[in-house]
A = this chain, B = another copy of it.
Amino acid sequence: MSFQKLDELGHKLEALEHALAILGADEATHMAVGGGEKRAEAMAALAGMHHRQATAPEIADWIAAAEAEPLEDTKRAAVAEFRRQYTNLTCLPAEFVERMTTARMRSEQLWRDLRAKNDWAGFQPALEGVVALVREEAAMRADALGLAPYDSLMEQYDPGNRAADITPVFTELKAFLKVFVPEALAVQEERLAKRPLKPLAGTYPVDRQRELGLAMMAAVGFDLTHGSLSVSHHPFCGGVPSDVRITTRYRTTEFLSALMGVLHETGHALYEQNLPKAWSHWPLGKARGMAMHESQSLFVEKQIGRNPAFWRWALPAVEKHLGEAWPIDDILPHVHRVERGLIRVDADEVTYPLHVILRYELEQELVSGALDVADLPEAWDAKMRGYLGLSTADNPADGPMQDVHWPGAAFGYFPSYTLGAMMAAQQWAALTRDHPNADADLARGDFSAVNDWRRERIWSQGSRWSTPELLQRATGEKLNAAHFTSHLKRRYGN
């Protein structure tokens, strides 16, 4: 039976994915500094085995045969999602994948070096090489999938996402933010004039911050029998659903950045821990995609973790673990700090989408050929001035050389961040329609109704639906910028 063959293959692939996930998390947390070279060799070899096994030609026959078998709905959906993944994995010829891998790795290495030196001229040829290959890739993917080239790139990260749906929503959001950012900054200034900012500075031992983080994780729903919290240079959520590894980094002079990082990663972790276990070895049982994943992390970090109601409950925990009693009116200005800046990853939730929309617009032009890499610094600077009133003219390191995504050939990924933020707001709005007392729940540290809602609507669904379908089924409507803009107005407006 062909379904059975796919099932057995799934177990083998899951074992390799398990190894890669744990080796990856281990590398960032516990590996000896000198172990990197052999680790890279081992992971490359395992990834190669995974790719060969996942793309073997006979799988096409198994899928076709399984599609012809009389299967109940979930199995049918499992086979359909298997086909989708198989098509995405096999639509590029092996020789192209090798060329791309080499180009990408070289360009990433060069980027690391030249970004530190702010050397755009040295980096431009490498990025040109990558963009040329990305255009080839998009054409081939578009052909195989019957999609527009840029849509076919997004399809890898968020199945079903289409520029035709996203662009109008982003356009609306951009128009709103161009007006709202100055407004929010003015409101903030006014408030701080009335009640000056109490500096977030002190001495917070790492072990106490860790205990606070663990207490928050557990309260918010993280299953500590199926996951753990470690330290790494860049925080992440990795591992496997049965053993989710989240990390943070600590500064002993303030506690908020580590704590908000823990909440963010806990949001990712909740999704992984609550996926349908029986399907963990099938694409169907995996999380839906990057945007939906980000919506889960941002749901916990922004919708819950920066909600004033949450802080009514959280501050006593902070006091218990860190021995410091913060009045809520002194902590919220830090939690809701808005600031214009050049760096996406440092941006607050008000300005962040403008960083993403800028990249979304530029990368579409790069993929289509409407924009040349040589003209990128100027185009970036123009948009940055237009959207945030900041210039990167003399500073390409903080302009088009800012992120690893483009040097790494990950075009079509950026929109996920802001789609995630919007989807999180839309989920919160739908949730509070069903549960008008959600704020009161947070204020007493009761996350059960919130998590039940998300488990049923999102986590348990795995990859059964495309990203837009899943959002619509969960919230009752298509992606709608109004929920996110209302959220921002409530939190940051007058």
Contact = CB atoms under 8 A, between A and B. Distances in A.
Nearest to A243: B35
Contacts of A22: 22-23, 26
A49 interface: yes
Interface size class of chain A, counting residues whose CB lies under 8 Å from the partner chain? 35 or more
A46 B13 CA distance: 10
Given A30-B228, A49-B12, A225-B32, A242 B19 contact: no
Nearest to A18: B42
Contacts of A278: none
Contacts of A242: 32, 34-35, 37-39
A50 to B, nearest CB: 11
Contacts of A19: 19, 23, 42, 46
Contacts of A244: 32
B49 A243 contact: no
A385 interface: no
A224 B45 contact: no
A240 interface: yes
A348 interface: no
Contacts of A223: 34
B225 A38 contact: no
A22 B44 CA distance: 15
Interface string A205-231: 000000000000000000111111010
Interface string A433-466: 0000000000000000000000000000000000
Contacts of A230: 30
A295 B43 CA distance: 33
Contact of A38 (B32, B45, B49, B240): B240
25 contacts: A12-B45, A14-B45, A15-B41, A15-B42, A15-B43, A15-B45, A15-B49, A16-B46, A22-B26, A23-B23, A26-B30, A30-B30, A30-B230, A32-B224, A32-B227, A32-B242, A33-B225, A34-B242, A34-B243, A35-B240, A35-B242, A35-B243, A38-B242, A38-B280, A49-B49
Interface string A1-37: 0000000000110111011001100100111111101
Given A30-B228, A32-B227, A225-B34, A45 B240 contact: no
Contacts of A49: 12, 15, 49
Top 5 closest pairs, chain A to chain B, by CB: A35-B243, A15-B45, A18-B42, A34-B225, A38-B242
A241 B243 CA distance: 26
Contacts of A34: 223, 225-226, 242-243
Contacts of A44: 15
A42 B73 CA distance: 28
Given A15-B46, A34-B243, 19 more contacts: A12-B49, A14-B42, A15-B44, A15-B45, A15-B49, A19-B19, A22-B22, A22-B23, A23-B23, A30-B230, A31-B243, A32-B225, A32-B243, A33-B225, A34-B242, A35-B226, A38-B243, A38-B280, A39-B243
Nearest to A225: B34
Interface string A156-187: 00000000000000000000000000000000
A397 to B, nearest CB: 31
A45 B281 CA distance: 13
A19 to B, nearest CB: 4
Contacts of A29: 30
A230 B30 CA distance: 10
Contacts of A33: 225
A18 to B, nearest CB: 4
Contacts of A35: 226, 240, 242-243
A30 B27 CA distance: 13
Contacts of A15: 41-46, 49
Contacts of A45: 11-12, 14-15
Most interface-central of A14, A38, A227 (chain B CB within 10 A): A38
Nearest to A41: B15
Contact of A39 (B16, B18, B241): B18
